[in-house]
Structure 1
Amino acid sequence: MTTTNSHNRLRKVCIGVSLSIALAASSIGMFDNSNTAFAATASTTKSVARQTTADQIIATGLRLQGVPYEFGAEAGRSSSFDCSSFTQYIFAQNNITLPRSSTQQSTAGTFVARSQLQPGDLVFFYSPIHHVAVYIGDGKILHTFGEGGVTVTDLNAGWWDEHYTTARHVLSVSAN
C-alpha cells in the first residue's frame, strides 16, 4: 500500500468522523429542555474523546501497513507482528494497555454486538479465539496475518464474515 493511499484512507476516516461530530453537535440544538441538552452535551463530549482516541489508534495502525506478519512476534517490536502483538502495540502507542494474547484481549473491556461496532473496537475470530483485529469503520478491519502483513480487510465478506466470533469495546472502559 502506498503512502498516498494510506493518507487518502486516513483523510476519508477523518472526514467521516468530522461529519459525525457535526451531525451530533447539530442535534443538540433540537432539545428545548436545558437539562436534556446538558446530558446530550456530556454524552457527545465523551463520544468525541473516544473517537479521537480511536482515530489515533487507527492512524497508528494504518502507518504500519505492509509490516510483515510473524507468528509469535515479540511484543513491543514494530519490525513484524502477529495479530495480538499488533493490536497491543498500536493501542500502547496511544497509552492504552492491552493483554498480550488474542484470547486475553477477548476478555478486556466490555462486549459489543456486531451491529454496534465502533472504530477502535477489537474484533475476534475462530472458536476458540486466536485472531484479533481492530474495527476501523465502514465494515473494515485493520489487522495482520499471512503474507500481506498489516492490512485492511472487509469484515463482511468471505472468511472473515463466516469466522467472526465476538467484539469488545476497550476504549470506553479505558477512557472512564
Structure 2
Amino acid sequence: MKQRKLHYFKRILLVAAAFIGMIAINSESLTQADSSYYTTNPGIIKTKQRVVYYQDATRKVKDKTVPANHYAKITKVVVSAGQVPVLKTTTGRYLTASKAFVTKTAGYQNPKRYYQVQYQQIKPHGQVGYTVKRNFEGIKTWYIMRKMGTFAGYDKYNQATYNAVKRFQRRHHLKATGNVDEQTWVKMGFSKKAWTAIDSYVAPLGATASQGRSAHIEAMIHQAYRYLGNPYLVGSSSSPKYGTDCSGLVIQALYAGGINPLPVSAIHHAYPGNEWNSRNLWASKKFKHVAYSQRQRGDLVFYYQPGTHTIWHVAIYLGRNRVIESWPPKIMVQPIRNSQRSNVAGIARPFV
C-alpha cells in the first residue's frame, strides 16, 4: 500500500515537472532547447518572426509587437542577474537577444539580382561642369536660353540659342564657338559656383541600413515631394529649387532611397540621347516588374504613348490610385490615370 502511494506521488511530481518544462519551453526566451543569445553587440538585427518590444530590460512592460523582417540598430547587450540577455535599441526599447528570434545583418538590402541599396552618398556617372552645346537640355540650358532671349517654354539648346551665344561671345571678345563653357557662363553673369553645383547635386540619403523597406520608400517619396509645384523642365534632374522632367524627378527620388540606377545618371540626363531616360529605366532588368494589380506605394508607374506604344512617361505611385509626377506644366500629384496619360505599360518595384 505504501509502495503504491509512493509510486502515485512520483507520477504526480513527474507530470508537474513536465508541465513546468512546457511553460519554460513555450516562453520567448526558451523557444528552442538549444537556444543561444547574442552576448556581444550584433550592430543591426532583423527579426525572424514576430517579436515584442519592451520599455524595460526586465521585459515587464510591453511597448509594441513588430513583425518578421523588421530592422533595428542595437546599442548594447544587457545582461541582468537572473535574466536572459536582451538587446537595447537606439530608440531605448528592448527586445530578446535570442538567435531564434533575431539575426545579425548588414542591414536592409534588395536581392542581388536587383539594384543594390547604397549607404554611402551616391555619385552619379558623368563630368561635373560640362560644356553646354546644341541639343543639350537641363537647368544650365534653361538659364542660358532665358539670358539669350530664346527660351519659349522648352529648354533644349537649339540653333537660335547657338547663334545668339556666338554673337554674345564676339561682343565680349571670347572665342565664338556657340557653346557655353565656364568662361562664357561667368561672362553671362552667372556664378562660377553654380556652373558645377547644378551638375553635382545629388539627393541626400534618406534612410539608413538599420531601417527597413518602408523607410526607404518614404525617403524616395519625401524627396519627390520637395519638387512639388516646380516647373516641368526637360533634361533636368538637379536641386529641389529647380524643376525636373518625369525621369529626372524619379532619378533624384531613387538617390534619396539609396538606389543608383546606372547607366541612367542625373548628370548625363541633360545630354543629347538622354531625353527619354524613362525608357532606359523601364528597360532595366534590375527593377522587379510586378502586375498592375499588385502595385504598392513606392512603385514606379510607366506609361506608353498612344499609337506608338513606346514608353514616354514615368511616375511614382503613392497609393490610393495617385502618383507624384513631373508632367507639363509642373511637378504635381495626380490620379494614376487621367485625360493626359492613361496607358500604363507596367509597374517596376525599386525596393523589393
Point out which structure has higher relative CO (alpha carbons under 8 A, 6+ apart). Answer: 1
Q: Give the greater-gyration-radius structure (CA).
A: 2
The CA RMSD over aligned residues, in Å, is 2.4
Deviation at 1:124, TM superposition (A): 0.1
Give TM-score, length-normalised by structure 2. 0.35
Equivalent residue for 2:333, pick from 148, 152, 171: 152
Match for residue 76 of structure 1? 238
Query: How many equivalent residue pairs?
Result: 134
**Secondary structure in structure 1 of the residue aligned to 2:279:** helix
| Aligned residue type for 1:169 | R
Q: What does 1:1-176 align with in structure 2 at a 5 Å threshold?
A: 38-39=48-49, 41-43=67-69, 49-73=212-236, 75-78=237-240, 79-98=242-261, 99-100=264-265, 101-106=277-282, 107=284, 108-126=286-304, 127-147=309-329, 149-160=330-341, 162-172=342-352
Counterpart Cα distance in 2 of 1:122 and 1:130: 13
Identity of aligned residues (%): 23
Deviation at 1:72, TM superposition (A): 2.2
Counterpart Cα distance in 1 of 2:339 and 2:213: 30
The answer to whether the 8 Å contact 1:51/1:119 transfers is no
More helix by share: 1
- Cα deviation code 1:48-107 (max 9, x no counterpart): 71111111211221121011101222x334412111011001221332212351111112
- Cα deviation code 1:10-65 (max 9, x no counterpart): xxxxxxxxxxxxxxxxxxxxxxxx79x9456434557x711111112112211210
The answer to whether the 8 Å contact 1:54/1:119 transfers is yes
| Structure 2: gaps spanning 5 or more residues | 1-30, 33-46, 51-66, 72-107, 109-210, 266-276
Structure 1 segments, 4+ long, off by >6 Å, are none
Give TM-score, length-normalised by structure 1. 0.66
